[in-house]
Structure 1
């Protein structure tokens, strides 16, 4: 499992140079390391999002086609006979 790394020693040195005590600098470095601990498996890639979006679009398209067919069938079964009766009467 790959994780991002945070250099706590480098962070502590920068803080000490900025005027923090060694103890404060080390504590903040450790705290930041914990905050930045992210597993790469939890991150989502652009390719994954694109693939999921395409799959979703295909699903929506299929359902939309079904609705269009259902409306067409409704028109054929209900409206067309009514129009025929109206014009032949």
Structure 2
């Protein structure tokens, strides 16, 4: 089974590049099958990791960044893959 973990944070205005750099520097052990990092308007950063695991597995996730970087707590979601195209 493939599980995708999504991590999304909104940076303090003007600190989006710093938050992006911070997210890119975070290592996960073990490493996921795949990891993608995105940026969006309003200084948002999104990281999606894919894992060969069931949806209840204990998997490493990116931590909360320092309060000086973000406007709110990180949003996290866990999805189970059901189809690919």
Normalising TM by the smaller chain, what interval?
under 0.3
Tell me the TM-score normalised to structure 1 length: 0.24
Q: Which has the higher contact order (CA 8 A, sep 6+)?
A: 2
Greater strand content: 2
TM-score, normalized by length of structure 2?
A: 0.25
Rg larger in structure: 1
